[in-house]
Amino acid sequence: MPLSFRHLRLSRWGIAAPVVFALAGLLATTSAATARGRDLRSEGRTDTADLVREQEHRAEVEEADVARLRQQVEDLGRQGAPVGSKLAALNSDVVQLAQAAGTQPVVGRGLRVELNDAPHSDVVPDGFEPDDLVVHQQDVQAVVNTLWASGATAMMLMDQRVISTSAVRCVGNVLILQDRVYSPPYKITAVGDVAKMAKGLDDSDTLDIYRQYVDAVGLGYKVDRLGLTKLPGYDGSLLLEHASAIR
């Protein structure tokens, strides 16, 4: 009578078991000899949060260095440029272009949009997924794009000035902007025609979808008119490191 499949599996295990145990013993012995009384798992263990904090600190230090060196260049340029010289004319052009580049502070009437995750902890409303309860990259980008399209002349995301090379990215439930990491609520502040920007937000089809989720699951959405607002100038590197042609 042929052996059943279950018996065949048991028979093979009976043969393989001694080999497995022998290999396990060899591995344990090797690990003990290598560790020499130390915890191998703890050595080189990396905490993601620590890595993020380290990168943030490094970015802040480098940005401060860039701002200091840029100021030195500007000061030396002004000191060494005789009135009416070509260098003086170039310095004048730099001042005018700085506004468009976002490197100069801006003061004007402002508007702030705040996006936040839904307050649910472990309870997901029926018919929805956990991803429906958090703010996503496309939500932040929709606000940014709508404000630009509605007449914003300058913008700040959290505590950083947004310029032409700024990229809004989300990893998990955190936002990364110019090597800094932020958690919700996300605040987007814009200076410009406040009435026009507010109307643009109200008329946006993309944000209308977001507002439907505000009503359905409790995502946070708040728009405040701020009055006179000052946005800092961007003080990071203006060099474009990665780009691809649009085909």
Is residue 6 scored above 60 in pLDDT? Answer: no
Mean pLDDT of 12-34: 47
Q: How far apart are CA 230 and CA 233, in angstroms?
A: 10
Handedness of CA 102, 106, 110, 116 (dihedral sign): positive
Is the per-residue pLDDT at 96 higher than 90? no
Number of CB atoms found within 10 A of residue 61's CB? 10
Res. 82 pLDDT band, cuts 50 70 90: low
Predicted TM-score (pTM) of this structure: 0.63
Peptide bond into 119 cis (omega under 30): no
Q: pLDDT tens, 149-163?
A: 999 999 999 999 998
Q: How confident is the model at residue 177 (pLDDT cuts 50, 70, 90)?
A: confident
pLDDT at 7: 38
Compute CA 129 distance to the chain's CA centroid, rounded to the nearest angstrom: 23
Percent of the chain with pLDDT over 90: 39
pLDDT at 13: 40
What pLDDT was estimated at residue 56?
Answer: 65
